[in-house]
Structure 1
Amino acid sequence: MEYRKVATALTIAGSDSGGGAGIQADLRTFAFHRVHGTSALTALTAQNTLGVTRVDVMSPDSVAAQIDAVASDIGIGAAKTGMLVNQGIIARVAERVKSLGITPLVVDPVMVSRAGSRLIDDEAVAALREQLLPLATLVTPNRHEAQLLAGLELQTLEDMREAARRIHRLGPKAVLVKGGAMPGSLRGTDVWFDGERLETLHLASVETRNTHGTGCTLSAAIAANLALGHGLFEATQLGKEYVTRALQHPLAVGRGNGPIGHFFPLLGA
């Protein structure tokens, strides 16, 4: 039997029992791209399409052990981070990323929900800003996260561009400020900046209430494309295209904000 070598990618994030976001969304996204997905769980959440009812947080040492287990045997072609929960986990993840030389690294800075609800405390925000962002190949903040990191209210396209510049100065190689929560015609417009190239990216906005997991999915899709050898800007474009297609085929699951269709080709789309 001939064994096929495949690209690999690691997700460091929380588990979503409803299957729409977090580790579950990341692994489905990796599989769609024919990338073997591995994982390091930071937290177990009890949630569904209506909300989160419980969160059990892993220890920083447990998260580090999962990363080490993957790195020592399977290897890490690319990695992404999602919900890192607290200062202790963020610091430990940053230490392992640095020690193991994990790159490329896509950081989805899960700090504020798309609706504007704060998810981590000030100590965790400081750790993410000071310890993890300087190690990132790409950071993908939503509007509210970009405001927190840049110290700037985002109302206009120029505000998004300035936020991207300020966040880039924190150390990541590139920044993608996502506009899904921006007002009016800016909804769905993203701004990319890598220190030299400033781009405005726009794909058609999709009208659906089933948007759960879009941020996780985008960062996972970019990481998958990086693992496959695509350049950073191209991987970002491909990731956005994938999320748009998945949004166009949302799943009728649950009674609330349902998931996007990660496996839309299998639905006959």
Structure 2
Amino acid sequence: MIQNLLSIAGSDPSGGAGIQADLKTFGALGCYGMAVVTALTAQNTRGVLDVYVPPPEFVATQIDAIFADIDVAAVKIGMLATGAIVEVVAKRLAYYNPRFIVLDPVLAATSGDALAASDVAEAIVRQLFPLATLVTPNFFEASRLSGHVIAADQAGMRRAAALLHARGAKAVLLKGGHVQGPTCDDLLFDGASYRLYSAPRIGAEEAHGTGCALSSAIAAYLAKGLPLAEAIDAAKTYLNGALAAADQLTVGHGPGPVHHFHELWRR
């Protein structure tokens, strides 16, 4: 059976991040992708020019339309631009209660441009942390969500993951791409134990949309029946392949996208 996966996120017209990256990842991993658009961005690989945010009521109506008609195996949440949108997303997902929710708390673009209002981080903690199967922040996002400055080292990763779990996250995958070293390490904490996922640093850690691809891949593998730790392992393998093949693409003049379909195009 082909699983139906829903992305609730912003649109990136350049195709490297947001719902476009999520849908590509879902498709590459054999799932049927759907999308609820929370924001329209005008951006490319070099930065964000503008953002249009739809009314929260329309975001809610999109979610209702999907769940009223389609069996959703897993949900991935990305960019939520305002606290009001966080609230309606949380209320609708609490009502429909999907089995898996992977929350990628996007607060800024790869370029550094802000993508969320100042009230979003706290709203995510209060309203979405209790619903999410997994939260996947980077160091910047972990600092905003925890309210603490996080050191970019292994000790800082453990502290950040514990802080976010204490704030209500069931499980945290702290992305360690900003930690210097020959490997790129992510740390999972589920409240009971830590697990480190280590991979060689490929040299494309600033690629556009890596977080979107990773969180979407985790959602896909959860929907396919893998336990959380194994779903993360499989998603990391997928992302590493997409990063390694990124140089096959010629998209833009800034940090380019990962190659979401690297396995299919190689055949």
Q: So what's the TM-score if we normalise by structure 2?
A: 0.94
Residue 83 of structure 1 pairs with residue 79 of structure 2: yes
1:214 paired residue among 189, 195, 210: 210
Identity %: 44
Moved over 4 A (4+): 113-118
2:101 paired residue among 102, 105, 121: 105
Partner of 1:167: 164
Residue 176 of structure 1 pairs with residue 181 of structure 2: no
Task: Give 1:1-269 correspondences, 5 Å limit.
Answer: 5-114=1-110, 118-150=114-146, 151-182=148-179, 184-185=180-181, 188-208=184-204, 211-250=207-246, 251-268=249-266
Task: Kindly provide the amino acid, as one letter, of the partner of residue 251 in structure 2.
Answer: V
TM superposition shift of 1:236: 0.9
Could you say what the CA RMSD is over the residues aligned between the two structures, in angstroms? 1.7
Question: Which segment is superposed worse, 168-177 or 109-118?
Answer: 109-118
* Count, aligned residues: 264
User: How many Å separate the matches in 1 of 2:55 and 2:188?
Assistant: 34
Deviations along 1:155-182, one digit per CA (max 9) or x if unpaired, are: 3201110110110112222100001122
Query: Any unmatched runs of 5+ in structure 1?
Result: none
Structure 1 contact 108–219 (Cα < 8 Å) conserved:
yes
User: How many Å separate the matches in 1 of 2:111 and 2:151?
Assistant: 14
User: How many Å separate the matches in 2 of 1:122 and 1:198?
Assistant: 31
Q: So what's the TM-score if we normalise by structure 1?
A: 0.93
Structure 1 contact 114–142 (Cα < 8 Å) conserved:
no
Query: Any unmatched runs of 5+ in structure 2?
Result: none
Change (3 A) 1:115 1:198: farther
User: How many Å separate the matches in 1 of 2:260 and 2:130?
Assistant: 30
User: How many Å separate the matches in 2 of 1:222 and 1:167?
Assistant: 19
Deviations along 1:189-245, one digit per CA (max 9) or x if unpaired, are: 111100112111111111137610100110100001111111111111111111110
